């Protein structure tokens, strides 16, 4: 989970904007 935040990609940022914050943490 934490390491996912370490390498956030532009695509991930776009997905995060569309998905709820809870989804981002769950990823």
Range of the domain at 22: 1-27
Q: How many domains are contained in the chain?
A: 1
| pLDDT at residue 25, rounded to an integer | 60
| pLDDT at residue 22, rounded to an integer | 59
Q: Judge contact between 7 and 27, C-beta under 8 A.
A: no
| pLDDT at residue 10, rounded to an integer | 78
3-state helix, strand, coil split of the chain in percent (to 5) is: 75, 0, 25
| pLDDT at residue 18, rounded to an integer | 65
DSSP label at residue 4: H
pTM score: 0.30
Task: Taking the CA atoms of 7, 8, 11 and 15 in sequence, report the sign of the dihedral they define.
Answer: positive
pLDDT in tens, 1-27: 556 555 667 777 777 776 666 555 655
| pLDDT at residue 17, rounded to an integer | 73
């Amino acid at each position: 989970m934490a390491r996912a935040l370490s390498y956030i990609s532009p695509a991930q940022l776009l997905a995060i904007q569309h998905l709820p914050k809870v989804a981002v943490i769950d990823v």
